[in-house]
Structure 1
């Protein structure tokens, strides 16, 4: 088979303890999935889960022990950080029941859902899609994937994000409105999940702006740290 131009390389994420890498298929994100974050965004309660996508090539892979970098994106004056637990799907499926969700999980990672908040807000006001606020280049940094068997008690893991050494976000995965299994059940009812899918499960309260020169350090306990500098 020939192509009119060389196809892009497959985006892939390193796997802790393995030489093989995890090839990325799609990137799904869950909106407003921590109650306190929902409140700071002007909402309350346990609303039905909703999702948005980022392109696979928005993923910025940060190798273990390294400091990654992202460019401050165009068109925005209000770039926000959102620390998240990322679920890596190893076995696909449709209409997966929550009780069976664990069978489809390959592993977990630490991720950042970077957001052009001003552009997102303007699109919301106009009732238009807000892909421009979420699905831009380099908007999905991620650290290495830890296989599920080695990830510990991920359902009760603490997570945090610091900027310049100061706490911005700090919470626990147990505070997810829709837990990991429920998220997979809802998501797989709308799309057939595939091996290589990444699910950014939502961010806790404390989201805020970063500027060029800031260094973000995030962690989900048991999965190591993710360090990203804005340049």
Structure 2
């Protein structure tokens, strides 16, 4: 099942894709793709619906972030050994955790705003994991049962804010529009192995990233178990699981960063694609 949110920013409605790829409205069935709707009971109730009986949404409306009401947007740094190498850093002994503020979230085809004065805005295609069943101290063997579904995340990053000066990752990762999420949430039952997904990213038609979740240092189950040992995970919490090599910062002989007017296309196998145009902050 593919769950989504459509409509103008701040006024999105819940929806799903039917078997023919048509958009169906869920407004009469659920308040939004958030909270209770993402629990096992909530997902089961939505799965029991006949999509053909739901109102069809005509046209081509804007898609918003595929989930909302996100309490924690957690992200994992240096989770692919070859990406750590291109960043000049040793593979970590345990997951490197940072946060992206939920206010950075935007839709999968929205404009990405390059902050004023930025000359080092970068891209990172990632597998996003959305929690459905709450938990604390979750055993790794049971961790995937806590997943509502998976989605595409672009962990847009401003490298000078992230790594220079005071060097705080959260401020380099949380600018407005720095977390395009979606196009939809694919429920966990349709992703039998999250460690066997291809992910890729292009800028203006040039492919920079082309990797597989099979090369993660810490897999999805390990990340869920590790994070739940630090704090309770709640329905709607997002884990962005790290990026494969090919980010702009690592391009040789010189880094390549985003400029206004460029187009990023990216995707994760089975989870859809994003198409994002970069614009300068006014």
User: TM range, normalised to the smaller chain?
Assistant: 0.7 to 0.9
Question: Is 1:122 aligned to 2:170, yes or no?
Answer: no
Range moving further from structure 2, 69-78 or 101-110 = 69-78
Which structure carries more relative contact order (alpha carbon 8 Å, separation 6+)? 1
- Residues in 2 aligned to 1:10 and 1:190: alpha-carbon distance in whole angstroms: 34
Shift of 1:151: 2.8
Question: Is 1:79 aligned to 2:121, yes or no?
Answer: yes
1:197 alignment counterpart: 237
Please say if residues 13 and 61 of structure 1, whose CA atoms lie closer than 8 Å, have aligned partners that are also in contact.
Answer: no
Please say if residues 111 and 177 of structure 2, whose CA atoms lie closer than 8 Å, have aligned partners that are also in contact.
Answer: no
**Structure 1 unpaired stretches of 5+:** 1-8
- Residues in 2 aligned to 1:187 and 1:11: alpha-carbon distance in whole angstroms: 30
2:152 alignment counterpart: 110
Report the 3-state secondary structure (helix = DSSP H, G, I; strand = E; otherwise coil) of the residue aligned with 1:154: coil
- Provide the TM-score with structure 2 as the length reference: 0.72
**How much is the aligned-residue C-alpha RMSD, in angstroms?**
2.0
- Residues in 1 aligned to 2:120 and 2:222: alpha-carbon distance in whole angstroms: 32
Deviation track 1:79-113 (CA, whole Å, cap 9, x = no partner) reads 00010000011111111111111111000001100
1:45 alignment counterpart: 91
Please say if residues 161 and 168 of structure 2, whose CA atoms lie closer than 8 Å, have aligned partners that are also in contact.
Answer: no
Please say if residues 194 and 220 of structure 2, whose CA atoms lie closer than 8 Å, have aligned partners that are also in contact.
Answer: no
1:157 alignment counterpart: 197
Aligned residues: 216
Equivalent residue in structure 2 for 1:147, among 184, 187, 207: 187
2:37 alignment counterpart: none
1:214 alignment counterpart: 262
Q: Aligned in 2, Cα 1:216/1:191: closer, same or farther, shift over 3 Å?
A: same
- For residues 1-150 of structure 1, what are the structure 2 equivalents within 5 Å? 16-17=17-18, 19=26, 20=30, 21=33, 22-23=67-68, 24-62=70-108, 67-123=109-165, 126=166, 128-143=167-182, 144-150=184-190
- Residues in 2 aligned to 1:12 and 1:86: alpha-carbon distance in whole angstroms: 21
Shift of 1:201: 0.2
Please say if residues 120 and 133 of structure 1, whose CA atoms lie closer than 8 Å, have aligned partners that are also in contact.
Answer: yes
**Structure 2 unpaired stretches of 5+:** 1-9, 19-23, 34-66, 249-256
1:6 alignment counterpart: none
Equivalent residue in structure 2 for 1:179, among 208, 219, 225: 219
- Residues in 1 aligned to 2:217 and 2:13: alpha-carbon distance in whole angstroms: 29
- Provide the TM-score with structure 1 as the length reference: 0.86
2:50 alignment counterpart: none
